[in-house]
Amino acid sequence: MKGGVLEVLLVNADGLGHSHLMGCPGLYVILKCGNQTHRGKVSSGKDKRVWWNEKFSFAFATRKWNSLTRLRMTIMKSHALQEDSPIGEATVHLVGVLEEGSRRGCVDLQPAPYNLVLPDGTYEGQIRIGLKFIAEVQPTTPMTTERREEAAAASEGKPQLIYRALFRFAFWRLSWPRMQQLFRGCGDSKEDDAIRGH
């Protein structure tokens, strides 16, 4: 069943308070849309600004578009000795983007800032993202950065699996009488060599 793909370009966050960046080994973003979640890479902040420059894809069937009302992004502060903690959250409403994209086939929004809501309910800083929605495409499982690395690592062992499969195919293609003839021929040649040696 055809559906659509929502691409999110995560650019940066700006205007974060010094208290959030001080002594922080890095910040990352958790993006959630519908029942799909992505986690971005860790990036260190400098001068109240953090850069990521990552792209994520959310693919959904057409029948699930009604559940895609918003994209939620949470900036997380990583800690070495304790659990990571959220420092800000932004929500993007997607109804207009999905309607326009389904009507035109594709809609591409340039990166724009969205206000960050802090855990205490106040506003501080902005997160900049770009959105692109492509309708009428076959939805596939999105590939995150971690999954791409896992796939690349797994592909290193594939040549051996391919050779093994080819060997098994060639082995079982040999008929049983042919295999007996081959083995009998090997045995006879050894016996003949033994007789000639005597």
Domain of residue 144: give its range: 3-152
32 shares its domain with 10: yes
Which is more confident, 32 or 83? Answer: 32
Domain end, chosen from 137, 152, 167, is at: 152
- Residues 99-136 have pLDDT tens digits of 898 889 999 999 999 999 998 899 999 999 999 999 87
99 shares its domain with 128: yes
136 shares its domain with 46: yes
173 shares its domain with 93: no
> Cβ–Cβ contacts within 10 Å for residue 99, how many?
13
Question: In the prediction, which pLDDT does 20 show?
Answer: 58
Question: In the prediction, which pLDDT does 189 show?
Answer: 46
191 shares its domain with 93: no
Helices (DSSP H) in 1-43: which residue ranges?
18-21
Give Cα 131 distance to the centre of its chain. 17
Q: Name the token pair of 98.
A: 């999905």
Question: In the prediction, which pLDDT does 3 show?
Answer: 78
96 shares its domain with 147: yes
What CATH number does residue 25 fall under? 2.60.40.150
138 shares its domain with 193: no
50 shares its domain with 148: yes
pLDDT for 153 beyond 90: no
> pTM for this one?
0.65
76 shares its domain with 109: yes
168 shares its domain with 100: no
67 shares its domain with 143: yes
Question: In the prediction, which pLDDT does 46 show?
Answer: 66
> Distance between CA atoms of 2 and 143, rounded to whole angstroms?
18
170 shares its domain with 96: no
Measured at the CA of 27, the angle between CA 67 and CA 10, to 5 degrees, comes to 45
Domain count, the chain: 2
pLDDT for 18 beyond 50: yes
pLDDT for 186 beyond 50: no
Helices (DSSP H) in the chain: which residue ranges?
18-21, 95-104, 145-155, 158-173, 176-197
Q: What is the share, in percent, of the chain residues with pLDDT greater than 70?
A: 61
